[in-house]
Amino acid sequence: MNDMIVLFRVPLRPAEIVTRTIREIQEDNCLGLAAQLAFYFFLSLFPALLFLVALVGYLPVENVLAQLLQTLGAIAPVEVLALLRTQLDEVARGSYGGLLTLGIVGAIWSSSAAMVAIIDALNHAYDIEERRPWWKRRIVAIALTVALALFIVTSLVLVLVGPDMAFLMAGWVGLGPAFSLFWAVVRWPLMIFLVVLGVDLVYHFAPNRRGGWVWITPGSLLATSLWMAGSFAFKFYVANLGNFNATYGAIGGVAVLLLWFYVSGLAILVGAELNGVIEQTVRARRPATRSQAGTRAGPG
């Protein structure tokens, strides 16, 4: 809680924070790093979907992935949803066994390549030198990949199954209709909070740094806001202004997906740069604050 208060009480003016963040984005070449992330996101897409389908198969809920695509359709372009749906159908038709099969293990290893790219990119964003050996970095990437997959599945259960259970409990006390209205209002804030929490999970464990856990950071709020706003804007552009099929032909959907991954990766990096600027400022001010406190306490 104290770390959260410090992060939100920065001894800088908002304009100065924005200026420093933009400068760090330029110096760390976040535009180029976002392109690298988009490439690795794309390469890890099919293995990640394979692992996610395997996890979802253990849930006592029907049409979970269809519900996920429907929710994602609110912000993602139609071409992205069509490509994801095609890949999910390919995975569903495959003869994949349980979570302990070699296929799933290989899927986890392959999909963690995107997390390795995120680790490298966040180290740049936080101006941290990576000193962990490659195998330790890969273990962290695999652990984060599995954790995020479990987090996504848990979030799906909470969003999809939670309303039915809560509605049943509300019916016992005579609040059935009122709860329907309540859930319509609360559903999106809950999903946004889960996205913010997932981003903070990556910000905390991926870079080669130590610090106390903070539930919500300014960077995660900014990254989530930029991701949603950028996705909405990109969806509008693709639907009304851009004609990727005419330009790229049969791979138009792939181009749209890569660009959407680029927007997502850039949002993650910008949020990390904001956190880095804030943490550097707070770290630089702490010694001066302590020395001043000691000077004031000395004469007494």
Q: How confident is the model at residue 270 (pLDDT cuts 50, 70, 90)?
A: very high
Q: Which residue has the higher pLDDT, 94 or 28?
A: 28
* pLDDT for the residue 297: 41
How far is Cα 128 from Cα 121, in angstroms, rounded to an integer? 10
Average pLDDT, the chain: 76
Average pLDDT over residues 188-199: 83
Percent of residues, the chain, with pLDDT higher than 70: 70
| pLDDT greater than 70 at residue 168 | no
Dump pLDDT digits (tens) for 82-116: 887 877 777 666 544 444 455 667 777 777 888 88
CA distances from 50 to 65, 96, 101 (A): 12, 8, 12
Going by C-beta distance under 8 Å and a sequence separation of 6 or more, which residues neighbour residue 224?
192, 195, 196, 199, 267, 271
DSSP 71: H
Res 237: pLDDT? 84
Does residue 4 surpass a pLDDT of 60? no
300: pLDDT strictly greater than 50: no
With a pLDDT cut of 90, the percent of the chain lying above it is 9
pLDDT tier for residue 262 given thresholds of 50, 70 and 90? very high
Q: Which residue has the higher pLDDT, 122 or 211?
A: 122
Highest mean pLDDT among 45-59, 130-144, 174-188: 130-144
Q: Are the C-beta atoms of 61 and 157 separated by less than 8 Å?
A: yes
Which of the residue ranges 3-17, 190-204, 229-243 would you say has the lowest mean pLDDT? 3-17
Contact assessment for residue 191 and residue 35, using Cβ atoms and an 8 Å cutoff? no
Q: State residue 221's pLDDT score.
A: 92
Would the pTM count as exceeding 0.95?
no
